């Protein structure tokens, strides 16, 4: 597909920097560039070379900015078209003037995502790779960066293409039969078709199942800090973020709204949510906060249930029982995406119970003792019955002791968070999907393949079965752009920003 016009936009962020890059791409890029250029002719420059020169302010040749122009000749450029990138001085005024000057010399201001759209249309990259470019630009952690890179470099597309090849084989076996329909032959052994279809479904489903983790790695793995008022939730949020983000006080009900922020730990971006303490209350505002807390807990991938370890044993046991009820209720009303939330029981304020050593050794009806605080085993012994019951509801639940105020064991908590985030899918090891559109297409593809199985079971004719195989092919094809419509492209690229 050929574009007749030449587009221009600032490719660097809006604002003042040392330099800014103005990108010009299209069939007339070199002619337009030469019209505003004082220096050695750009249209004669070799591809991938840079020249120092002057951009003129007007046709009389008065200087606007001294800059470096980098020349890329079609098809060896990002867009696949002739391209000049001007590295100009980074004043906002200069940037605007250079763009205006190029527009008045024949270029058109680019629309959002238009450079990447051209790259796709000129076959420089497929659709999943183009979408990867947007993710790469937005990547804010090592995991998100790695996932975007696997999309940009085509690892993900290769997997989709191999799935499509299997389906094409399947469809052609079926369609061969159609050509010989009068002779009533079955070229394709039905049992073999079935096993190919089943294998394809399991491959598609496995990829689709990575989406919950993929989205979490991209946007920040959601971690809810939950518990009764005054357990130290806001103190823990501040300790994890390393700043005083939430107000801490000993007045129960201080945190009324959800407060959140992100932090990268071990290469993974986490989004921590401090919530209002869960309790029944007559205060209207606090009640709304408690409602929101429940929503956040329901959507979290990891929930940290905080317990004030300085309470007496009876109170702690009752809190563990209460947490069991909360988790139980949540498991029963799970959303599809985060149906495997991890739960961690965190005993906080352990600094307050250090003077209770003797108390503990004399009787077991006590707070956790100092010696206990460094060993999980002992704490489990103290609350073994209650924790055992909790594990019946939620087998993977883990227990940890910290002091949010003194920063004790926060490092251990962080290590546990990283491990929990990777239990679903490891971003370093696996191909993981991060894009909602890809997820939807994979699911539709899987549904079409289930219809293929049903049709095989029902002994339907080859033409009916092949229709559903074609439908599955279509859905997988839209992921990489082997199949596209203008609407789809507009929907994708208008979400990019100008200059991409
Ligand atoms: N000694 C001690 N006090 C703590 C600790 N964590 C929180 N606190 C105190 O407990 C009170 C309630 O803390 P806050 O974080 O506001 O609890 P929230 O209601 O759960 O958010 C404050 O006075 C905190 O200083 C801790 O680890 N040790
Ligand atoms: Mg609070």
pLDDT recorded at residue 281: 74
Q: Give, using CA atoms, the residue closest to atom 10 of ligand 1.
A: 232
Tell me the best of 232, 251, 409, 410 to mutate to test the pocket of ligand 1, counting ligand atoms within 8 Å of each CB and taking the most.
232
Cα 373 to Cα 18: distance, rounded to the nearest angstrom? 53
Q: Residues 74, 82: contact at Cβ < 8 Å? A: yes
Q: Residues 383, 316: contact at Cβ < 8 Å? A: yes
Average pLDDT over residues 411-439: 89
Cα 484 to Cα 433: distance, rounded to the nearest angstrom? 20
pLDDT recorded at residue 101: 97
Q: Which atom of ligand 1 is nearest to the CA of 231?
A: 20
What's the alpha-carbon Rg for the chain, to the nearest Å?
A: 30
pLDDT recorded at residue 75: 95
What are the pocket residues of ligand 1 if the criterion is a CB atom closer than 6 Å to any ligand atom? 229-235, 248-250, 254-255, 277, 348-349, 351-352, 403-405
Q: Give, using CA atoms, the residue closest to atom 2 of ligand 1.
A: 349
**Distant-in-sequence, close-in-space partners of 394: CB < 8 Å, separation ≥ 6:** 324, 327, 331, 343
Q: Which atom of ligand 1 is nearest to the CA of 228?
A: 20
The winner for highest mean pLDDT among 45-49, 259-263, 460-464, 466-470 is 45-49
Cα 30 to Cα 47: distance, rounded to the nearest angstrom? 11
With bands split at pLDDT 50, 70 and 90, how would you rate the model's confidence at 46?
Answer: very high
- As to burial, measured by CB atoms within 10 angstroms (0-12 exposed, 13-18 middle, 19+ buried), residue 471 is middle
Which ligand is closest in space to the CA of residue 404? 1
Q: Token digits for 38?
A: 């004082």
Residue identified by tokens 């002719």 is 41
**How does the average pLDDT of the chain come out, rounded?**
86
Average pLDDT over residues 269-298: 83
Sheet strands (E) in 372-447:
398-401
Q: Residues 360, 293: contact at Cβ < 8 Å? A: no
Q: Give, using CA atoms, the residue closest to atom 26 of ligand 1.
A: 349
- In 3D, which of 238, 235, 279 has the Cα closest to residue 261? 238
pLDDT recorded at residue 351: 86
For the ranges 247-261, 292-306, 458-472, the lowest mean pLDDT is seen at: 247-261
Which ligand is closest in space to the CA of residue 257? 2
Q: Token digits for 390?
A: 């909790």
Average pLDDT over residues 150-176: 88
Q: Give, using CA atoms, the residue closest to atom 12 of ligand 1.
A: 230
Tell me the best of 230, 255, 293 to mutate to test the pocket of ligand 1, counting ligand atoms within 8 Å of each CB and taking the most.
230
Q: Which atom of ligand 1 is nearest to the CA of 235?
A: 15
Helix (H, G, I), strand (E, B) or coil at 273: strand
Neighbours of ion ligand 2 (CB under 5 A): 233-234, 255
Ligand 2 centroid, distance to 222 Cα (angstroms): 18
pLDDT recorded at residue 128: 92
Tell me the best of 224, 235, 304 to mutate to test the pocket of ligand 1, counting ligand atoms within 8 Å of each CB and taking the most.
235
Average pLDDT over residues 99-117: 95
Residue 394 or residue 410, greater confidence:
410
**Distant-in-sequence, close-in-space partners of 314: CB < 8 Å, separation ≥ 6:** none
Ligand 2 centroid, distance to 240 Cα (angstroms): 14
Residue 189 or residue 375, greater confidence:
189
In the chain, the domains with their CATH numbers are 7-124 (3.30.1360.120), 133-210+434-481 (1.20.120.430), 213-424 (3.40.50.300)
Cα 399 to Cα 347: distance, rounded to the nearest angstrom? 8
pLDDT recorded at residue 438: 93
Q: Residues 43, 26: contact at Cβ < 8 Å? A: no
pLDDT > 80? residue 57: yes
Cα 361 to Cα 312: distance, rounded to the nearest angstrom? 16
Which ligand is closest in space to the CA of residue 238? 1
For the ranges 281-290, 312-321, 422-431, 486-495, the lowest mean pLDDT is seen at: 281-290
pLDDT recorded at residue 334: 56
Q: Token digits for 87?
A: 């590295």
pLDDT > 50? residue 361: no
Ligand 2 centroid, distance to 399 Cα (angstroms): 21
Cα 421 to Cα 102: distance, rounded to the nearest angstrom? 49
Which ligand is closest in space to the CA of residue 351? 1
Residue 35 or residue 177, greater confidence:
35
**Distant-in-sequence, close-in-space partners of 170: CB < 8 Å, separation ≥ 6:** 193, 196, 197, 200, 469
pLDDT > 70? residue 297: yes
pLDDT recorded at residue 186: 66
Each residue's pLDDT tens digit, 460-497: 888 889 899 999 999 999 999 888 888 888 888 887 88
Q: Residues 136, 152: contact at Cβ < 8 Å? A: yes
pLDDT > 90? residue 213: no
pLDDT > 60? residue 360: no
Q: Give, using CA atoms, the residue closest to atom 7 of ligand 1.
A: 232
pLDDT > 50? residue 170: yes
pLDDT > 80? residue 285: no
Which ligand is closest in space to the CA of residue 252? 1
pLDDT recorded at residue 365: 45
pLDDT > 70? residue 336: no
Q: Give, using CA atoms, the residue closest to atom 11 of ligand 1.
A: 250
With bands split at pLDDT 50, 70 and 90, how would you rate the model's confidence at 366?
Answer: very low
Which ligand is closest in space to the CA of residue 403? 1
Is the bond preceding 75 in cis, omega lying within 30 degrees of 0? Answer: yes
Q: Residues 289, 255: contact at Cβ < 8 Å? A: yes
Q: Token digits for 228?
A: 């009764």
Helix (H, G, I), strand (E, B) or coil at 324: helix
For the ranges 113-117, 330-334, 351-355, 364-368, the lowest mean pLDDT is seen at: 364-368
Ligand 2 centroid, distance to 155 Cα (angstroms): 44
Q: Give, using CA atoms, the residue closest to atom 8 of ligand 1.
A: 232
pLDDT > 90? residue 28: yes
Ligand 1 centroid, distance to 450 Cα (angstroms): 53
The winner for highest mean pLDDT among 57-61, 247-251, 419-423 is 57-61
With bands split at pLDDT 50, 70 and 90, how would you rate the model's confidence at 380?
Answer: low
Average pLDDT over residues 110-128: 93
For the ranges 9-13, 261-265, 352-356, 402-406, the lowest mean pLDDT is seen at: 352-356
pTM of the full predicted structure? 0.77
């Amino acid at each position: 597909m050929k574009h007749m016009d030449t587009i221009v936009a600032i490719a660097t962020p809006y604002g003042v920097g040392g330099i800014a890059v103005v990108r010009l791409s299209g069939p007339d890029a070199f002619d337009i560039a030469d019209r505003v250029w004082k220096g050695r002719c750009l249209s004669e420059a070799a591809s991938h070379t840079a020249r120092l020169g002057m951009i003129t302010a007007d046709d009389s040749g008065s200087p606007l900015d001294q800059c470096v122009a980098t020349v890329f000749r079609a098809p060896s450029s990002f867009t696949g078209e002739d391209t000049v990138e001007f590295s100009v001085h980074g004043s906002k005024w200069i940037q605007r003037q250079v763009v205006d000057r190029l527009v008045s010399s024949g270029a058109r201001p680019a629309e959002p995502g238009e450079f990447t759209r051209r790259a796709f249309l000129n076959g420089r990259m497929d659709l999943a790779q183009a979408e990867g470019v947007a993710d790469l630009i937005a990547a804010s952690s090592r995991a998100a960066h790695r996932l975007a890179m696997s999309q940009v470099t085509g690892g993900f597309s290769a997997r989709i293409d191999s799935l499509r090849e299997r389906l094409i084989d399947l469809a052609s076996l079926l369609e061969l039969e159609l050509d010989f329909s009068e002779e009533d032959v079955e070229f394709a052994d039905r049992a073999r078709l079935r096993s190919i279809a089943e294998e394809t479904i399991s491959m598609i489903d496995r990829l689709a199942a990575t989406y919950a983790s993929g989205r979490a790695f991209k946007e920040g793995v959601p971690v809810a800090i939950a518990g009764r008022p005054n357990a130290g939730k806001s103190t823990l949020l501040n300790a994890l973020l390393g700043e005083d983000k939430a107000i801490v006080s000993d007045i129960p009900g201080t945190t009324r709204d959800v407060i959140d922020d992100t932090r990268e730990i071990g290469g993974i971006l986490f989004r921590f949510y401090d919530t209002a303490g869960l309790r029944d209350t007559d205060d209207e505002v606090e009640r709304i906060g408690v409602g929101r807390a429940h929503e956040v807990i329901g959507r979290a991938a990891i929930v940290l249930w905080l317990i004030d370890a300085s309470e007496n044993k009876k109170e702690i046991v009752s809190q563990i029982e209460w947490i069991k009820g909360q988790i139980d209720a949540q498991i029963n009303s799970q959303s599809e995406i985060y149906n495997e939330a991890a739960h961690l029981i965190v005993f906080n304020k352990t600094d307050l119970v250090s003077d209770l050593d003797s108390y503990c050794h004399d009787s077991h009806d006590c707070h956790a003792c100092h010696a206990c605080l460094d060993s999980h085993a002992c704490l489990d012994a103290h609350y073994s019955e209650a924790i055992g019951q909790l594990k019946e509801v939620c087998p993977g639940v883990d227990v940890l002791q910290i002091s949010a105020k003194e920063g004790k064991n926060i490092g251990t908590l962080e290590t546990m968070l990283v491990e929990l985030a990777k239990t679903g899918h490891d971003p370093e090891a696996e191909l993981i999907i991060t894009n909602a559109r890809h997820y939807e297409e994979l699911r539709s593809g899987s549904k079409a393949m289930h219809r293929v199985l049903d049709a095989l079971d029902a002994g339907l004719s080859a033409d009916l079965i092949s229709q559903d195989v074609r439908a599955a092919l279509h859905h997988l094809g839209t992921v990489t752009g082997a199949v596209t419509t203008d609407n789809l492209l507009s929907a994708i690229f208008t979400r990019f920003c100008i200059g991409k």
